[in-house]
Amino acid sequence: MTGLGCWLLVIGLCDLFRAARDLTSLRRRFTLVGAGLGLVAVASVASQPEGVGAVAWGLGAVGFVGWVVASSSALGPGTTRGGVVAAAYGSLLLGVLGFVLVDERAGSPAGVEGLVERSALGDVTLDALVLVAGVLLVQLSTANVAIRLLLDLVGVPAADNEKQLKGGRVLGPMERLVIVGFGLAGSLTGAALVVAAKALLRFPELRSSGGGSSPVRGASDVTEYFLVGSFASWLVALGGVALASGLS
């Protein structure tokens, strides 16, 4: 699944580039789309796909553009978020399914596989290496954007609650990386311990987060933000584990 791994790397790099900005300007969107399509084109040519493999790269390019444009629009002011968020998630799904369904027919970069086999990585295949790298990079950047879209969609604005639960944008990726690491190592128990530890550490903060004249309402808002964001984050991490372990 080198094609899927390369595609995830492009998505992750572009989202990492805009990670510090919720509101992506039109110029920045054009820059991201142009750079991303350039990387997709280079990866597809290097992979030398045949038949439906070329179709997969075409779907990947469409999915990439749809994700960048729709997710940036959904985070902008005055957006009717339901349809735009659905378009963003659908674009990601389109790209992933495009590569999953054609499997190895999307091709691998010529000559690179031999270099990997002769390196210190030993028996690690190029497919596994690129796919795992793509999954890990998505945990750092793309997952934050996807979770933020979900929080806004269900009416729990991330921007408001991040002021009370600081560090979520940093802790979330770290947590997902640890879960993916445990999962790929075959230790789901370790991943479960990470989830339990987070809940225990956040519990006192959640109880005291209300404050003001309406502590019950405030605590409820922050608790909902924590639960929705955490479960979404865990699902993204577990999805990455399933993708990397099942297809590499």
Phi-psi map region of 28: left, alpha, beta (phi>0 left; psi -120 to 50 alpha): alpha
**Does residue 187 carry a pLDDT above 90?**
no
Neighbours of 143 (CB within 10 A): 23
Ranking 84-88, 104-108, 113-117 by mean pLDDT, the lowest is 113-117
What's the longest Cα–Cα distance across the chain? 66
**Does residue 243 carry a pLDDT above 70?**
yes
Q: Most confidently modeled of 22-31, 45-54, 103-112?
A: 45-54
Residues 180-213 as b or e (16 or more Cβ within 10 Å = b): bbbbbeeeeeebeebbeebeeebeeebeebbeee
State the average pLDDT for the chain.
76
- Region 124-141 average pLDDT: 83
The band of 119, judged by pLDDT with boundaries at 50, 70 and 90, is very low
Kind and range of the H or E element at 96?
helix 81-102
Ranking 85-94, 133-142, 222-231 by mean pLDDT, the lowest is 222-231
Give the residue from 168, 150, 144, 166 showing the smallest Cα distance to 15.
144
